[in-house]
Structure 1
């Protein structure tokens, strides 16, 4: 018995030591290394989720769609600090590639094709924020903890090549699938956006490629080896090779289920912030000036101005550059419009949030044709984009039911519903809306409508358009800037400055004369 007791005690000690060792190993795991030993399907959802940027955040304020009027909840100031990077997600992409490589070709190819798209997407995303970033030498873990930075031009060249390859891979698989009923597939459960539909993913690869090419508009004519116009034209001229989105059904978007994913504005936070956020003037005043019914869909009338609820004169946004104290006073006087509470606060599911949308693609195509990069009917694509976005907001040709809340600072009275008539033709045939042709005026119209379609969607795309083109004219003042200037970039993350100091300093010196200055222009927009 004594021997048995010693044996049990010894085993208990060994188990304890073993458990401690396992816990120690878990605690000291290198988070910079890719995850291994997981099915590629399990790695897909967090990668996809990192593409999504929710509305009601700083990105929305940067695009001047809404503005805070209450200091307790923040401010309308642009950033003064550093960007967030996506290397953690890219490490998961590496892991997905590794784990897919252990499978047979039929099972692995869909993941490997999507991995090329994700690499292009996240590297471009990071570069748009700061300029040069590590790409070629990145994602090697301890083999190379201090990767050199790639020039922004090379990042875009690499990304466009990845997208070309991803399209070819997906096209080949979709061609086989058409004959064999889905030989190549991803389990629908793990693909949160398209439920394993590789035909939709191929369309998104090409739509994103158009976005990347449009982002390079200022470099056309100065960097011939980018081949921007030729690549753009090749996509439009060969729809069988480069299929594109056909409708809103193809949108890459986040859909809220009201349980695990709740829209940021909902009945749960109505009492806290429904009156603390108003529409921004850059967005709402543009809609009102165009007699665009979307103005009434997204906002409440400013009843203190003395106009009828359904008069476009009642829809006035708060200037994003205005001091919050002045904006708060105008809210109390009901002289600027609150965010539309019927649209945004009635349900937990709200509206879908676009990552890459059909309207944006339409306007990108119209812009490229306007700039002479390809042949085609710019006006048709321009109209397609307008009509698709009007439909997203429920705007109908004819009678539209519009409901406003009769309330004042959270004290709710009876709702008021109006029937407002809207004509597509009447709207479009206004000189300020009807396409002016492939000229500067026509380009301004395309960019204006694209900006309106970015509202509360697509992350920083509205800001990037302003940075690239100046359209629309953003409001600037003490309420949103420190020195009367909107930042043109973010600083690099702090860990880049400490963990990769030599390469960080070299990149900052070559781009920005040694100063990680948020007001200096990166190569992309020079």
Structure 2
């Protein structure tokens, strides 16, 4: 204590001695070579990085696109607390960065009318939607206040969606007004549409992304679309009916997508890890078998033939995935070598022979097309559902390099090494594909909606995080097998419906957490409970 008193006295004396100087002592302490404020461009890059969900992770297996057959590295189980954590990861730290970016940009520009402000509204909507999709109700209105409120109350999932839709509408309006002025705005640091300054392509592209994401959110609300408070149908109709006010993507190149490079950002499957992944991962049935049944050439672009089935390499019957719920011991028996496999392996040429694989969509154009087709088919707005359905399919063909005509297909030779390929020429006809009974659009009815959902699921292969799983959870498409025989899932062979709240939330905000769990799930914070969104 005595030392502290002396320190105070010494500081006071020093303050008196310097009182005649023109500068304050605090100014002398500042290092002119160190920044005192984080520029919004740096925060933007950090926030955008948090949007990315890598392919080949647990999300991909929960979407049932690929499988692990070797439990030393991974498995296909869901989050039941035995194989994988059942607790959600929430993005409040990211949202704090969003608020800091918004404030920093307003200070630097001396106005809130700047691109970062529009981006902040989008990010708030994006991350709150991501979080509520995982758990249900969340602190929102009272959240992000720091020491001012350590125990924020929970907002209902319905109110969260209402607010997020408002943010997205406001973000579109603000970005559109900024673009229309033609003025120069500082907007660097963007990772997805490159670094531009001014009313740039990045701002234009992000405005399209805002609206594409808003369409995703509206479709996610399909089970609650009749609720007048949400305005799902009117908002959907407004967006697709006014492209000037709500510009939309026009090709897959417009999508928000993560691009890999051969210097430091490798695709998770690449030639440096091929040795450890060779036979330990295979294709899943929900995705692969759908493509095979549609005689869809995309399957040959992304998978190897299961030669143990006895068909020619270019016969669609050669492409088969394993049921994701199979016990790993059973699945492994079907993956013995590239010449005797009963299940298709992940395509060697596209994913392993190089380092960069393919871009990973975060918000993709094909998905947007299918969301529009679904909404029109549900009667939410006027338009050509069949046309949007076809646009989505053809755009995804283009992404995978599937041409209307002759196509070059690379398949690894039986027992061949990496890069030792057989090259086939396979003819594919777009019109014939679309005319097949399984593919030809059945109209604005239940079957037509199911077809849209099937193709949307296919288009989200290895991208868009958990959107494939969320679509199944909302619609039942595609059909994920369930029951005791699906022991590979864990959770008694049942696919769960949600994550549990994080343990630190239950410990630090106990009363509000318990009230939210009681109001939603009758007091059971359980992975098999049904949230408001799905009722």
TM norm structure 1: 0.90
1:110 has 2:115 as partner: yes
- Which of 374, 383, 393 matches 1:376? 383
Matches within 5 A, 1:152-171: 152-171=157-176
Q: What is the rounded CA distance, in whole Å, between the counterparts of 1:200 and 1:354 in structure 2? A: 14
Quote the RMSD (CA, aligned, Å).
1.6
Equivalent residue number for residue 255 of structure 1: 259
Aligned residue for 2:190?
Answer: 191
Q: How many residue pairs are counted as aligned between the two chains?
A: 485
The yes-or-no answer on 1:404 pairing with 2:403 is no
Of 364, 387, 406 in structure 2, the residue corresponding to residue 357 of structure 1 is 364
Return the match for 2:470 from 464, 471, 476: 464
C-alpha displacement of 1:413:
8.8
Q: Is the 8 A contact 1:406 1:412 kept in 2?
A: no
Shift in Å, 1:274: 2.7
Segments of 5+ residues of structure 1 without an aligned counterpart are: 1-34
Q: Which residue of 2 aligns with 1:9?
A: none
| Shift in Å, 1:108 | 5.8
Matches within 5 A, 1:159-238: 159-177=164-182, 180=183, 183-187=184-188, 190-195=189-194, 196=196, 197-221=202-226, 223-238=227-242
Q: Is the 8 A contact 1:363 1:446 kept in 2?
A: yes
Q: Equivalences for 1:91-490 in 2 at 5 Å? A: 91-105=96-110, 109-177=114-182, 180=183, 183-187=184-188, 190-195=189-194, 196=196, 197-221=202-226, 223-332=227-336, 333-408=340-415, 414-476=420-482, 477-490=486-499
> Displacement, 1:167?
0.6
Question: What is the match of residue 10 of structure 1?
Answer: none
| Contact preservation (8 Å) 2:260, 2:359 | yes
Query: 2: CA distance between counterparts of 1:378 and 1:516?
Result: 39
Task: State the shift of 1:401 in Å.
Answer: 0.7
Runs of 5+ in structure 2 lacking a partner?
Answer: 1-34, 81-85, 197-201
Matching residue within 502, 505, 522 for 2:511: 502
Mapped to 2, the partners of 1:513 and 1:191 lie a distance apart of 44
Q: Indicate if the aligned counterparts of 1:107 and 1:185 stay in contact, CA closer than 8 A.
A: no
Shift in alpha-carbon separation, 1:36–1:442, aligned structure 2, 3 A: farther
2:320–2:342 Cα contact (<8 Å) kept: yes
Q: Which residue of 1 aligns with 2:16?
A: none
Do the aligned partners of 2:306 and 2:343 also contact (CA within 8 Å) in 1?
A: yes
Shift of 1:185: 4.0
**Distance of aligned partners of 1:215 and 1:412 in 2 relative to their CA distance in 1, 3 Å threshold:** closer
What is aligned with 2:19? none
Structure 1 position 58 matched with structure 2 position 58: yes
Partner-residue secondary structure (3-state), 2:173: helix
Paired residue secondary structure (1:516): coil
Cα distance in 2, alignment partners of residues 118 and 493 from structure 1: 21
CA contact (8 A) 1:275 1:339 kept: no
Distance 1:384 1:504, change over 3 A: same
Return closer, same or farther for 1:305/1:376 CA change in 2, 3 Å cut-off.
same
1:306-326 alpha-carbon deviations (Å, 9 max, x no partner): 111111111010110111111
Give the superposition deviation at 1:246. 1.1
Label 1:475 to 1:274 Cα distance change in 2 as closer, same or farther (>3 A): farther
Shift of residue 407, structure 1, vs aligned partner: 4.0
How far did residue 36 of structure 1 move? 7.7
